[in-house]
């Protein structure tokens, strides 16, 4: 139990005091933990927070790979990194290895590229990719990431991004995590409840509105009524409060992102494993792609596919073949996905956080990031009971931007592929709806490589586009004008600087499995 040191000063009459969160998935408990830590430890008790979740309606049960922003969020909610690793069977993620995305498998050389969490260097503001194109024509995409980041070397050596003396949340290079979603939810719940968050196990059966269209109260199955100043909808794809209760329309992205279904299967590790991959793998399949997420306790895999191009049974057969479980030893969870977003994530006194506001398919592990982004925006624009329309406008504008940019970035993975071997890949190559913003970038990048000022990135930067552009060999086919300004020797200098750094980092970096075993005291905690 955390001891209460201080109580928040009495809030003015107009201040938001009572918050009700609906939903006990990652969004719900992360929101509860975040809000109870929002203004620092002295604000303990500032809000009266109640979370209601239904045991009849489960959580989505997936969402186990993250991006580096989670490190800050974990700190924000008062967790130590070792607590997180120990309680969530977590592992390190240095980036994503993409397999078979460019060409049909079996068509020539191995088809692999990486999207690591590294940043690319520049020389006189000229992006590294230009020097690589000029100096290493014909090299593989892996050569590019190997040359300019330390991430792939660490990943291939199965190393953690940490030295023996690295502090919590600090590493030799940027990193994120894989974690067991159920255990993560449990840990967040414990921490939020230690901070005074109340939990009700019941089902919301009605959302009652007042004459302004604001939520007045929620009716629960057992008869209780809950009122609040602010309602947070974390009810998942159901979007019980925002889309159902307040009738906020949902805009589907199905024309831009074709995958709408998923299958998840977890497998036990072999008894004597010698190493563990510190990265996610995304393997292109006939009708979508498959994830592999190595957790400390189990290997989590899934197949994200388009139900317009195959059915659930065929998809499961194709997927089990990939993971070597044709006999069906491990149960499969089938999931329908709703890709798209609302326009107003915040409407009146209701805010949707997580799947209830929108979802982009999980190729770049952005689901939990969207929750983090929603909470950080809320912290910036936290309202009083008036719920200023200006705060709402900015919040909604920023959230739309984050979702739309992420949709474009995921769309880029598909539309740049040269695969034509199934209807799914042909439809991606020739039939995707591309936004004006992405269309502009695609046209721009016919004559130059991505650089920092080409757009205003919120989630994925020009470097991430560069890793993908190289992966798909989609670099400018004409000589970029910037080549005239370059000193070719700067490319070798950049590579030498990075090479030196890599030579320093690699021997310091510790073996991931050995580190995890030490965190767990030699034991593997099994998923709850």
Structure tokens at 188: 């967040």
CA distances from 100 to 294, 326, 354 (A): 19, 21, 30
Geometric angle at alpha carbon 46, from 40 and 48, rounded to 5°: 130
Sites for ligand FAD among residues 249-288 (CB under 6 A): 262
**Under 8 Å between Cβ of 462 and 452:** yes
Structure tokens at 38: 């929002």
Least distance (Å) between residue 130 CB and ligand FAD: 33
Examine residue 333 and tell whether it contacts ligand FAD (CB under 6 A).
no
Q: At residue 427, what are phi and psi to the nearest 5 degrees? A: -65, -35
Q: Cβ closer to ligand FAD: 261 or 451? A: 261
Total residues binding ligand FAD (CB under 6 A): 37
Q: Using DSSP bridges, classify how beta strands 91-93 and 176-178 pair: parallel, antiparallel or unpaired.
A: antiparallel
Examine residue 154 and tell whether it contacts ligand FAD (CB under 6 A).
no
Q: Cβ closer to ligand FAD: 115 or 235? A: 235
Q: Cβ closer to ligand FAD: 103 or 413? A: 413
**Under 8 Å between Cβ of 361 and 304:** yes
Q: State yes or no: is 93 an active-site residue.
A: yes
Separation of alpha carbons 170 and 82, rounded Å: 12
Q: Cβ closer to ligand FAD: 25 or 491? A: 25
Active-site residue among 93, 97, 159, 407?
93
HSE-up of residue 103 (Cα within 13 Å, Cβ side): 11
Least distance (Å) between residue 117 CB and ligand FAD: 14
Among 28, 68, 118, 480, binds ligand FAD (CB under 6 A): 28
Q: At residue 469, what are phi and psi to the nearest 5 degrees? A: -60, -45
Q: Using DSSP bridges, classify how beta strands 358-359 and 126-127 pair: parallel, antiparallel or unpaired.
A: unpaired
Least distance (Å) between residue 301 CB and ligand FAD: 11
Q: At residue 358, what are phi and psi to the nearest 5 degrees? A: 165, 170
Among 95, 161, 236, 294, binds ligand FAD (CB under 6 A): 236
Residue 159 CA from chain centroid, whole number: 22
**Under 8 Å between Cβ of 262 and 307:** no
Separation of alpha carbons 366 and 192, rounded Å: 23
Examine residue 239 and tell whether it contacts ligand FAD (CB under 6 A).
no
Examine residue 23 and tell whether it contacts ligand FAD (CB under 6 A).
yes
The 49-68 site mask, x for binding ligand FAD (CB under 6 A), equals ---xxx--x-xx-xxxxx--
Sites for ligand FAD among residues 288-317 (CB under 6 A): 302, 304
Q: Cβ closer to ligand FAD: 29 or 132? A: 29
Q: Cβ closer to ligand FAD: 127 or 362? A: 362
Examine residue 240 and tell whether it contacts ligand FAD (CB under 6 A).
yes
Examine residue 367 and tell whether it contacts ligand FAD (CB under 6 A).
yes
Among 172, 173, 204, 399, binds ligand FAD (CB under 6 A): 204
Q: At residue 315, what are phi and psi to the nearest 5 degrees? A: -65, -40
Examine residue 127 and tell whether it contacts ligand FAD (CB under 6 A).
no
Examine residue 27 and tell whether it contacts ligand FAD (CB under 6 A).
yes
Residues designated catalytic: 93
């Amino acid at each position: 139990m955390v001891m209460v040191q201080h109580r928040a000063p009495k809030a003015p009459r107009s201040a938001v005091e009572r918050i009700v969160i609906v939903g006990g998935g990652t969004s719900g408990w992360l929101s509860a933990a975040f809000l109870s830590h929002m203004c620092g430890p002295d604000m303990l008790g500032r809000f009266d927070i109640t979370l209601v979740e239904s045991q009849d309606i489960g959580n989505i049960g997936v969402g186990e790979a993250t991006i580096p922003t989670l490190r800050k969020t974990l700190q924000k909610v008062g967790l130590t990194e070792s607590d997180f690793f120990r309680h969530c069977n977590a592992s390190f993620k240095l980036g994503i290895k993409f397999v078979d995305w460019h060409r049909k498998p079996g068509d020539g050389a191995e088809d692999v590229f990486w999207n690591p969490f590294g940043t690319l260097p520049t020389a006189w503001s000229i992006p590294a990719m230009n020097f690589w194109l000029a100096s290493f024509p014909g090299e593989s995409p892996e050569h590019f990431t190997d040359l300019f980041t330390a991430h792939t070397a660490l990943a291939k050596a199965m190393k953690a991004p940490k030295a023996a003396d690295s502090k919590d949340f600090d590493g030799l290079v940027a990193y994120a995590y894989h974690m067991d979603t159920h255990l993560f939810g449990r840990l967040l719940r414990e921490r939020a409840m230690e901070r005074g968050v109340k939990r009700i196990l019941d089902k919301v059966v009605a959302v009652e509105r007042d004459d302004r269209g604001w939520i007045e109260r929620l009716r629960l199955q057992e008869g209780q009524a809950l009122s609040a100043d602010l309602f947070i909808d974390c009810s998942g794809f159901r979007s019980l409060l925002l889309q159902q209760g307040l009738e906020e329309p949902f805009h589907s992205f199905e024309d831009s992102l074709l995958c709408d279904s998923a299958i998840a299967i977890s497998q036990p590790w072999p008894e004597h494993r010698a190493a563990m991959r510190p990265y996610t793998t995304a393997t292109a399949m006939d009708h979508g792609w498959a994830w592999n997420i190595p957790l400390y306790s189990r290997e989590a895999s899934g197949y994200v596919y388009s139900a317009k191009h195959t059915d659930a049974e065929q998809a499961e057969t194709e997927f089990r073949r990939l993971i070597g479980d044709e006999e069906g030893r491990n149960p499969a969870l089938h999931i329908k996905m709703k890709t798209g977003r609302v326009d107003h994530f915040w409407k009146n006194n209701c805010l949707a956080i997580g799947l209830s506001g929108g979802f982009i398919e999980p190729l770049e592990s952005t689901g939990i990031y969207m929750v983090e982004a929603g909470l950080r925006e809320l912290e910036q624009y936290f309202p009083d009971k008036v719920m200023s329309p200006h705060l709402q406008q900015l919040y909604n504008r920023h959230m739309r931007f984050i979702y739309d940019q992420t949709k474009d970035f995921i769309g880029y993975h598909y539309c740049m592929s040269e695969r034509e071997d199934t209807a799914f890949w042909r439809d991606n190559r020739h039939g995707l709806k591309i936004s004006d913003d992405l269309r502009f970038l695609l046209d721009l990048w016919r004559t130059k490589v991505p650089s920092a000022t080409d757009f205003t990135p919120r989630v994925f930067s020009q470097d991430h586009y560069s890793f993908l552009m190289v992966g798909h060999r989609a670099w400018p086919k004409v000589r970029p004008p910037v080549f005239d300004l370059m000193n070719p020797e700067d490319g070798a200098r950049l590579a030498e600087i990075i090479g030196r750094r890599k030579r320093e980092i690699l021997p310091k970096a510790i073996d991931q499995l050995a580190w995890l075993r030490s965190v767990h005291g030699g034991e593997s905690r099994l998923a709850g």
